[in-house]
Every structure is written in C-alpha cells, then in structure tokens.
Structure 1
C-alpha cells in the first residue's frame, strides 16, 4: 500500500458515510493505518470517521473491532523476547458507571502470586475515581519499565503492567479529539484488545450485554485461545460481588454460556456499596492491607466499604483469571489458590518485585 495521506483517507470516509454496507474489514484496517500514521489524517477526518462508525453501528461489530485492534497492536511499541512467554490479562471495557474498587488490577496481582503470568494492560481513569494506572502509581510503582526488561521480570515475578500511553504513541493525537467529541467511540472497545503483549488467555468484562458475543468473536479473531467475557447483571464489567454474573466462556473454539453467583466461588455475596472506589490513595492502602493481611487505619476506609468484601471480590475475579490461565480447574480451586497467594504473601511478593524493577531503572 502506498503511504497513507489525508487525500487517500477521503474515499474511505465517503464509503463509510454513504455506503457503509460495503465497507470491509480491509477498509477498516486501512482507515486505522491512516489514523496511526503521522501526517496521514486531519483532526476533522478522525472525528468524522469515529462519528460515522458510531452512526452506522460498525463500531460494535467484531470484524471491525478486530481489524482495528490488529493495526493498533502492530503499531504499538514491541516487546522483544515475549513471544515465548504465554501471558494472560483481565480487563473491562469500562463505562459501567458504578465507580467501584480497581478489582481487575488487584485480581491480576493476586493471580500472578498464584502462578499465572499476567501482563496487565491499562491506563489512568477516564471516568471513575481510580483507574488501574492510578492505583499502581499510588502503590509507588513505576509505569515506565523498558519493554526489553519485561521477559526477565515476568520470568521472576509473573506480573507486569503495560501502561497504554507508553505503548501506543499514536493515541496521543486521538485522545484530545475523543474528549472533545463527548461520546463513546470504538476506542472504548479497543482498549481491552490492544495489549501489546498479545495475551492468549483473557477475562474481559463488558457493561452492555449486546457486546458479549461481539467480544467473544473479536477475541477469537485476535488469536485468544481461552477467554471469559463476563457481565454482572447490574451492568457491571466485572464478575459481580453482589449477585449473578453472566459468563460467555471460550475454550477450544467453542463458546459456553452460563450464570454464576458468589456462591459458585465459595464466598459470600456483598452489596456494591461495600466495594465502592475511594481515591487512588485509599484504594492503594486498602489493597496493601489485604496483601499484607493487616488492618488499615480507619481513615483509609471510605464510608460503607468493607475490607472482607473487597477481599472476596478480588478472590472471585482472580479465580476466573486462574481458570482461563490453566492454573485452576474450577472456580472453587481458583479461589483457594488466590487465597493462598494472599495469605502466603506470594501476591505481595509479585507486586513488590514489579515495584523493585521500576525503581532499578
């Protein structure tokens, strides 16, 4: 393909806006080549493209999401030597509006302590009180570990965090436009799929039920071997601590749909009010207390939040990740291994090793 330019972007924009039915996956990939390439677009063209995708509904179709994610990953900062290390990730699409504790990040650390190799991909908060990067920064972790050091880090500690801003430089010119547009775009769905480590095992949370099948299909197209797409019935993009969660499990090319509750994991149910997010500092102090099996100070606990509820919620989400990673055969065993990782201080050791690696740069 010739080098993309704003002029070569125009026919793609016209086709999407006036004949979206014939807009192909190849067209989508070529459009994203324009978006990620310097001087191959204007701000107005990107805004028009994202708006047309939204209005045509193509932003919620698996084939287009997978095509866009493939381009974004190809243009991400590459991680040498990681191909031989199979990894997993747990992530949500966001947008559930429930403003809860950073359970996926906490579950990732605990799962690493229990034996999974986790490359957590995330960013700072877009709409909630505390995003995954905010939590880790409040835990005094560096988010700038050089990619070349990640394979050795994963071999020793099994946990690494890949800060999206460091790995996707092309997003720098898209972010201001997304803020100005003021509505969700395809990038809200791409976030969970843009992990440059290319994990082959994933737990992905969706807030909208209609996205479940879309994400299962997209994950398959991207080469993910085993996954759970999960949605708490409150509209939560995590496994719910309070009630039922729908799960679409991908395994060996087949998809199985079922519903679970905390009871299936062997833990009590807890109301969402007991797992609300505090500030990043509050959340960090609570997580440190859970990892160190200590009691936080009263000031660290937001009103209504219960440490036991947070721990149980972390356990059930870590359990799901351990199952897809092949470290547990069922949810009960996953909870047992996750609990042992906390109580044996293995999860704390995984986080400490990641923190130490960042301080040695």
Structure 2
C-alpha cells in the first residue's frame, strides 16, 4: 500500500487492473484502517478516472455475493449519496411507489455516511431485517414488489471499510460505486449522482451496457430530483435539462426537504408520505422521483405519463400497502 499511496500522492492514476487489485486487498483485510483512510482520502483530493472506477467496480462485482432475481425483472432506484443535503429518504420511498405502479424493485442501499439516515437506517427502524438469503428476498419481492439488499451483506469490501467511512463522515469513491454494484445486476436502473463529473463517468460506463438506465443530477447539488431547481438527466438516447415547471411541479425551498434531526423524525416523514398525510412538498418530490424511475424502466413512454402513474400509486394508498407487505414478508 505504501507504493500505491506514494503513486497517488504524486498525482498519478491507477490502471484498471491496479484499482481492481487494491479493492481486492481491502476486501481481504490486507490493509489497516489508517492505510484505507489514506487511500480513500486521496480520491477526495482529485477526480476519479474511468479506468479507476471500472477497476473498483470489477473488484466488487467479482467478490459480491450474487443473487438471481431475473424472474422478477427488478430495477434499482438509488443515489450515490454524499450530496450533503440531509434530505428525507426520497429514493427509498420512491421504491414503494414504483412497486405500487407495477415495477418490481431490488433496492441496493446502506446506512448514511454524510447524512443521518440512509435507506438501511430507516428500514431497520421499521423492523425490516437485513438478509442475503435468496428465498427470503424472493418471497419479499414476490409479495410486495420490493426487496432490500443491505450492501455490506453482499460486498465484503464494503463491510470492511464501513467503520473507516463512518469515521471519515465524507463522501468517498465508495459512494460512487454503490449504484454500480447491485448484486442482482438489474437491467433497469435510476441513478442519482451528486455532481456533473460523476454523471459524465456514469453515462460513459452505462453506455457500454444494454441496461435501461437514467442518470439524474440536481444542478444545485442534489443526487436526486429535488424540485428546488432544474435537473439534468442522461439516458442511452439523450441528455436533457428539465425544470420542475416543465412537469407541472412547483419549485421547492430546500428546507422543505429536510430529513429531520433524528432517525425517528426521518421515519415519521417516511410514514407520513406513504399515508398521504405529509406536506405537499414531501409528496411532490417523491412522486417526481418515482415517476422518473418508471420512465427509466419504460423509456418508450413519456415523463408525463409516468408521473401520473406515480401520483396514482402514492395517493391511492397502494404504495402504503406495498410497504406493509414488505415488512410482513421480510
């Protein structure tokens, strides 16, 4: 690791294979926590390259605990995290709206690093146990349309660096990797990213696949559709900047999206949205993200059509029922 760190501190880059080998070493416990922290910090100081990102991705996919859910044709709905905005659990809520609209979801997630309450945190609060048992996950997705894949249970490397990431408390390249290494390898995906450089890298790599994908970035720094201003989307067919008003949504003030100061408060917002008793801002932003996810899964449709499907799925109470079924089946 000393040679690798010296190489990085001289502003040099890793090859794809070098990046793969380092991640494999991290997964096997070859390096201590100080070395891992220094390695992650090096990539905070400069942008990651395509080759490095590919190598890290290759290592995690090679070492993952695989699971085949292809019979359910699921999609993933997730963001990189690390935007520092402390919003409530918008993408996790969107999963249940998407499922209620008829599209199964295999959600890949973790506890928050730069935010109080990640997807794992809020679902754990409601009593959902984490598992990598295929039979349990298949039962859950078949009954509720959603299953949850707690990242450390599927990625040994993520489990090993968890304490270091938590102590650093900042976004690292592991935030960037998360959406790329869903162990089910879904063919449909909505990915939120926290800056335009990462969006460019993701678009390049996803263009090399046959996935139905949509990458989104809020131009004021969000890794999701915040409705606080315009957002950019990138698909296999187009790049486009969209304003909330273009889709009939209001422009929201950032403070209206706060996730609260405790996990219990975040969970309260989560449940209120599903019960259709949340604020209009909270409901609208979930509908916007769920609609975008449905459009990612159905690119031959239109954004307006998918936004209407998302709204009906939430306001009818179907999303709440899917969430209840998820907890029961889990």
What TM-score does the superposition give when structure 2 sets the normalisation length?
Answer: 0.88
Matched residue, 2:12 = 20
- Which residue pairs with 1:64 in the alignment? 52
Name the counterpart of 1:248: 234
- 1:308 alignment counterpart: 280
Of residues 249, 270, 276 in structure 2, which corresponds to 1:287?
A: 270
**1:153, CA displacement in angstroms?**
2.8
Aligned to 2:65: 77
Quick one: distance in 2 between partners of 1:198 and 1:30? 22
2:203 aligns with one of 216, 232, 237 = 216
* 1:110, distance to aligned residue in structure 2 (A): 0.4
1:54-86 superposed Cα distances (whole Å, 9 cap, x missing partner): 55x4x522232122122212222222x424443
SS at 1:68 equivalent: helix
Determine which of 332, 335, 347 is the counterpart of 2:307. 335
1:153-172 alignment, distance < 5 Å: 153-172=140-159
SS at match of 1:91: strand
Counterpart for residue 348 of structure 1: 320
44-53 or 81-90, larger mean C-alpha shift = 44-53
User: Which residue is 1:267 aligned to?
Assistant: 249
Paired with 2:264 and 2:165, the residues of 1 have a C-alpha distance of 27
1:286–1:307 CA contact under 8 A, matched in 2: no
Distance in 2 between residues matched to 1:163 and 1:44, nearest whole Å: 25
**In 1, are the aligned partners of 2:137 and 2:148 still within 8 Å (CA)?**
no
Q: Secondary structure at the match of 1:198?
A: coil
Aligned pairs for 1:14-163 (under 5 A) are: 20=12, 23-38=14-29, 40-54=30-44, 57=46, 60-79=48-67, 81-144=68-131, 146-163=133-150
- Aligned partners of 1:353 and 1:145: how far apart in 2? 19
Q: Tell me the distance in 2 between the aligned counterparts of 1:121 and 1:78.
A: 13
**Which stretch of the first structure deviates more once superposed, 178-187 or 88-97?**
178-187
Residue ranges of structure 2 left out of the alignment (5+ in a row): none
Going from structure 1 to structure 2, the CA distance change for 1:63 and 1:142 (only over 3 Å counts) comes to same
Structure-1 separation of matches of 2:42 and 2:84: 25
The C-alpha deviation readout for 1:224-247, integer Å capped at 9, x for no partner, is 612222111221111122221111
Contact 1:240–1:261 (CA under 8 A) maintained in structure 2: no
Q: Is the 8 A contact 1:145 1:357 kept in 2?
A: no
Q: How many equivalent pairs are there?
A: 329
SS of residue matched to 1:101: coil
Distance in 1 between the 2:4 and 2:134 partners?
34
- SS of residue paired to 2:76: strand
Q: CA RMSD in A?
A: 2.6
Corresponding residue number in structure 2 for 1:3: none
Structure 2: how far apart are the matches of 1:60 and 1:324? 26
1:178 aligns with 2:165: yes
Q: Is the 8 A contact 1:202 1:224 kept in 2?
A: no
How far off is 1:180 after superposition?
4.9
Deviates more, 1:46-55 or 1:274-283: 46-55
Residues 173-200 of structure 1, C-alpha deviation per residue, up to 9 Å, x if partnerless? 3223334556543212112222112122
Among 182, 187, 191, which residue is 2:174 paired with?
A: 187
The structure number with the bigger radius of gyration is: 1
Report the CA distance shift for 1:328/1:353 in structure 2 as closer, same or farther (over 3 A).
farther
